[in-house]
Structure 1
Amino acid sequence: MTGSTRDPTFDRERERELFERLAEDPSAREEVIELHTPLARYLASRFRGRGETFEDLTQVALLGLIKAVDRFDPSREVRFSTYASATIVGEIKRHFRDRAWALRVPRRLQEMGLQVSKALGALHQEHGRSPTVAEIAERVGASEEEVLEAMDAMTAYTAESLDAPSGEGETAWIDRLDHEEPRFAMLEEWESVVPALRGLPEREKAILYLRFFRGRTQSQIAEEIGVSQMHVSRILAQTLRRLREALEPDAEV
């Protein structure tokens, strides 16, 4: 029976049987991986021409496939191939993001950035507020200038990743704005938001990122970047209006 004429009911039953055997039969895991290796190779081929060999991309895709096999919950009403495709593509995109970070940001700033990120989380939990630069510097054993330099590098990289997926769901944070900001839901051509966002000043990009991707409140953003909550509110309103004007020049705001 060819792939085009195979009974989909049989496929689902076979899939269910394999995953039921996984806990007790290691060969079932290998069988699932083998059956879906062509899918991994196909998805890897879609990312050719971006500076990576097909062999390297295939290895990353296979890693994503293995993760999908180990994480899949057969009790959910989702076909494994659907779940695996999303996981594989997510793994490949993460690979490119990690590679971009390694290429664009000096190693010392990468290491400092990781320390700063950990310190931010720990200090915020300890004090119930966003820490000052001085507190972060003391925690990581660096000067305030070094901390600020690392934070600038992280912010610059983040701004370049506006349309990068945000996690396992692999939904770009700019793609979430229309769901979280009613004014954006009115835009007919959402895809055209991307170039408009890229044209924004760095601080406005950072504020949008913190608000809509990191889920920060306006007060938290104000404390984090050192301005008043009213100023953050004004910047957000102006930025959203500017984006809409850029996309719909004749629209009344």
Structure 2
Amino acid sequence: MTRDKKELKNIDTKELFEEYDKNKDMAIRTELIERHIYIAEILAKKYANRGIEYDDLFQVASLGLIMAIDRFDVSRGFEFSSYVTPTIVGEIKKYFRDKGWVIRVPRRIQEMSKKVNTAKTQLSQHLQKTPTIGDIADYLEVTEEEVIEAIEGSKVYAPSSLEITYDSQNDDKEVNIQELIGVLDEDYEKVELKDLIDRVMEKLNELEKKVIIERYFEKRTQISIANSLNISQMSVSRIEKKALEKFREEFEKDGIHDKK
């Protein structure tokens, strides 16, 4: 018997997978996709700006999600998040390989990118602030367009960093997000850590989830997010802090920091 959509919303994810395994009900499949589509969104955004548009990557990630749902064997006792993330990442990497992109960056851009990175470091020390595009262009005696081209080109082959900080509301210091969630391995495939991240993301409300994704995956500023949501920067800061506290509580409860 096919369940209605409202009824499916109240059923545990594991139970839904068990039912889907038995009857392949498309309504259940749709519900499972809706519950986990945010994983496809996060991973597509993580690999965006590397030569392929986000919309294309989201389609690939969504197909990977559907593939994972259809292939997942709930009887093996693993969490779905342990299976879906590497499946989606695998499909995205395969898409990059098939397109032949990612590492095909002209040598002149690679060389300019190295010069830009060196200039950033030297100028930051000399100016005691983050250098502007103009500062770097003047230092290297090149045009601003060349600097921008090098920075954008570097995104194609340089991995995104998790070494992002946010301002603590309790004191004047900045807190690195890795201090809260630990260090991911190179392939983002440590099962225990992925399960925890997935579990916490499911506990966040839509606003908290949006702020976390935009702050730590899209690397947007609090002011930018506040403007897009039509709320104050202070509100964004409070939402971010509350969401990060949920990560901290869950990770400390599971003893992640003791295992690092």
- TM superposition score category, shorter chain reference: 0.3 to 0.5
Task: Name the structure, 1 or 2, with higher relative contact order (CA <8 Å, separation 6+).
Answer: 2
TM-score (normalizing by structure 1): 0.34
TM-score (normalizing by structure 2): 0.34
